[in-house]
Chains A and B, each alone.
Chain A
Amino acid sequence: MGFLDIRNVTKSYGQVEVLHRVDIAVEEGEFLVLVGPSGCGKSTLLNMIAGLEGISAGEIAIKGRVVNGVHPSKRNIAMVFQSYALYPNMTVGQNMTFGLEMHGVPKPDRDRALAEVAKLLQIDHLLDRKPGQLSGGQRQRVAMGRALVRNPDVFLFDEPLSNLDAKLRVDMRTEIKKLHQKLRTTIVYVTHDQIEAMTLSTRIAVMNKGFVQQLGSPKEIYDTPANVFVATFMGSPAMNIVPATVVMENGTAHAALTDAEGQVQRLRFSQDLRAWEGKPILLGIRPEAITDPEGADRKSGNIQSLRNRVTVTEPAGADTFVTMTVSGRDAIARMRADANVAAGQVFDFAVNMEKAVAFDPETEQRIA
């Protein structure tokens, strides 16, 4: 039993089920990120934990206490909203202590908690201002402060960074991570941004169409995605998914695929795929696993060469993205910025097959 237990939780509106038997146990101090495209049910799940939406079936327990039907204010949770939801008529200080006031905490205690949190978030000089006079980043801090001041069991974040500009978003991301490392609180965080999910979390639940597609550490999710959806949703640019056939050569499995000219090329698998001999699969390779030979990972025990024509090169500063055609689909390679490639050229790509994964084309589930 975890600190926050989500057991077989289902949500339906009338006949329509939008969340199907979600089962997650969150340990104390964990940073769980719910990530997925819009409409996947992640915010609904968060609202159910908060008590803002009812639970159709299953149960949610915090610290062993089942909270189905418990009022949001009695669950000892705090929530940071996407729009920050600061009360416009109150000062920053009043905003942050409103919850304590509603819970009947005496004024001296409220002031002490406020001073402590304001110092932690470096917003002590803003306490007498109204939210309208604050910048986006400051509002974000106040919203977090309002949550922190109550010292809840679980923090809930609903896309808290999506209203900030790109640079501030990265800064605040680091802030949140620092805060979590310092305070070791339990956090459930909803986002549609896979980079936020990767950087912040200790565990990720990738959701789609009301199902949890995969639950695991960021590394598990990234390296061994459970299915094609997770593989393509996490990572930018997305993982290359190309059709291939499994063929045996010298007793080991190889992926047979075609290059831009239609020539068959073979890449040796590191995994055992004997059972799939002669069958079609979907081969998944991350862009950074396809490089120029000099840029290949030296620690890898299985670098395979793929000779193919370059379609487009996109220098992005730190990296150069190189597009080619593999088995009739576009595949992207992530190269060093100074890699010597040009469009139209036939190039020897180095493919790190240790990082490759294979999916069943029927079910789209990972098989190796």
Chain B
Amino acid sequence: MSVATQDTAVSTGRATRVLIYLILLLFALFYLLPLYVMGVNSLKPLEEITGGNMMALPGQWTLDPWRQAWSTAQIGVEPTGLKPYFLNSILMVVPAVAISTIVGALNGYVLTKWRFRGDTWVFGLMLFSCFIPFQIVLIPMAVVLGKLGLAGSVPGLILVHVVYGIGFTTLYFRNYYASFPTELIRAAQIDGAGFFRIFWRILLPVSGPIAVVSVIWQFTNIWNDFLFGVSFGGTSQPMTVALNNLVQSSTGVKEYNVHFAGAILAALPTLVVYIVAGRYFVRGLMAGSVKG
């Protein structure tokens, strides 16, 4: 027997509700399990891992694996830890995200508010770039970087990621600005504001949500990229490549605790970005698609 409630359109009984929460809880635990394993094992000495239960809490808590991973672990031939590579990644990611987002915003602005003959074609071609797999552009990109003298350097990697990211950022900003009233641009023109002034004073201040989307997307992709990093990184390889070198080394004892700590270190920046800006991410994604 069930009594229809007045406040919800679809009424659910108490039992159904408990079941739903239980299932959700199970999924959440299942989803968090890898993080738990990584966290727990990065805080125990190696013997505890090799000697037995991976799921158990540390018998003896220690931060040594983290210290090792950060500053003394053997990466390739040098015992530098992940620190220099982490810096490489930061030096690459920050400008690459900033440049690709700004260029994407400008593209979106031009493609919606300063229409020109053939603009839909230009946009279509830029969209096309979103569907090109990384592997296809490796050789042409290597040639271009070589000709520019940027091969094996951080600026080279920045260029690669900016070029590859512009398609996505342009798509985001174009769709967002498409619902921005053109009358505002016209009003600003009559008021005497020029191309960049309108962009800077009228459009950018309301672009927060979509800028967050673009930054999160670009940050995650560029930070997590391995292929471009290993192909064009040269002496300034990013964090992902270093992590691979740490984990995949075939000499000596496998220090799982250090590997776990290193993996968390490599994932940390993207996690922070998501936690800080996550709710804007969803809001921004919606804002682009549905007016309101």
Binding site for B on A (CB under 8 A): 50-52, 71-74, 77-79, 81-83, 85-89, 98-99, 102-103, 146
- Indicate if the CB atoms of A81 and B183 lie closer than 8 Å: yes
Q: Could you tell me the distance between the alpha carbons of A74 and B183 in the complex, rounded to whole angstroms?
A: 18
Contacts of B129 in A (CB 8 A): none
A87 and B188 contact, CB distance less than 8 A: yes
B202 close to A (CB within 8 Å): yes
Is the CB–CB distance between A50 and B190 below 8 Å?
A: yes
Also in contact, A88 and B206, with CB within 8 A (given A81-B187, A82-B183):
yes
> A87 and B184: CB pair below 8 A?
yes
26 A-B residue pairings within 8 Å (CB atoms): A50-B186, A52-B189, A52-B190, A71-B189, A72-B186, A72-B189, A73-B189, A73-B190, A73-B192, A73-B193, A78-B190, A83-B181, A83-B183, A85-B181, A85-B184, A86-B184, A87-B184, A87-B201, A89-B202, A89-B205, A98-B191, A99-B190, A99-B191, A99-B192, A146-B187, A146-B191
Residues on the B chain within 8 Å of A73, using CB: 189-193
Most A-side CB within 10 Å, residue of B184, B187, B206: B187
**In the bound complex, what is the Cα–Cα distance between A18 and B181 (angstroms)?**
24
Contact of B188 among A50, A74, A98, A103 (CB under 8 A): A98
Q: 10 closest A-B pairs (Cβ-Cβ)?
A: A73-B192, A102-B192, A99-B191, A89-B205, A85-B187, A85-B183, A81-B183, A72-B190, A85-B184, A72-B189
Beta-carbon nearest neighbor of A50 in chain B? B190
Given contacts A79-B186, A89-B206, 13 further A-B contacts (CB under 8 A): A50-B186, A52-B189, A73-B193, A85-B184, A85-B186, A86-B184, A87-B184, A87-B188, A87-B201, A89-B202, A98-B188, A102-B192, A103-B192
Main secondary structure of the interface of B (DSSP, over half): helix
- CB-defined contacts of B183 to chain A, threshold 8 Å: 81-83, 85
Which of B186, B190, B192, B201 has most chain A Cβ within 10 Å? B190
Residues in chain B within 8 A of chain A (CB atoms): 181, 183-184, 186-193, 197, 201-202, 205-206
Task: Say which residue of B190, B193, B206 sits within 8 Å of A79 (CB atoms).
Answer: B190
Rounded to whole angstroms, the CA-CA distance of A23 and B201 in the bound complex is 38
Residue in B closest to A94 when the chains form the complex, CB atoms: B201
Whether A79 contacts B192 in the complex (CB less than 8 A), given A85-B181, A88-B206, comes out as no
Task: For the complex formed, measure the closest distance between the CB of B72 and the CB atoms of chain A, giving whole angstroms.
Answer: 50
- Please name all residues of chain B whose beta carbon is closer than 8 Å to the beta carbon of A86 when the two chains form the complex: 184
